[in-house]
Amino acid sequence: MEQRELILLTVINAWKKIIETKLIPVIKKTIENTDEWLEGNIYNYKPDMIYEEGYYAKQQNIILCAANPNIKKVLEIGFNSGFSTLLMLLSNPNIYVTCVDINIHPYTVPCYNIIKQYFGDRINLLIGDSTVVVPTIKDTFDLIHIDGAHHPLIAERDIVNSIRLCNNNCVLIMDDTDMFELNTLWNHYIFTYNLTDYPYDLVDTFKHSIKQYVKT
Q: At what angle do helices 108-119 and 83-91 cross, to 10 degrees?
A: 10
Domain definitions of the chain by residue range: 3-213
pTM: 0.96
pLDDT (tens place) for every residue of the chain, 216 residues total: 588 889 899 999 999 999 999 999 999 999 998 999 999 899 998 888 999 999 999 999 999 999 999 999 999 999 999 999 999 999 999 999 999 999 999 999 999 999 999 999 999 999 999 999 999 999 999 999 999 999 999 999 999 999 999 999 999 999 999 999 999 999 999 999 999 999 888 999 999 999 999 988
- 130 Cβ partners below 8 Å, 6+ apart? 77, 78, 100, 102, 148, 149, 154, 157, 158, 161
Q: Would you say domain 3-213 falls under CATH 3.30.830.10?
A: no
CA–CA separation, 134 and 166 (whole Å): 12
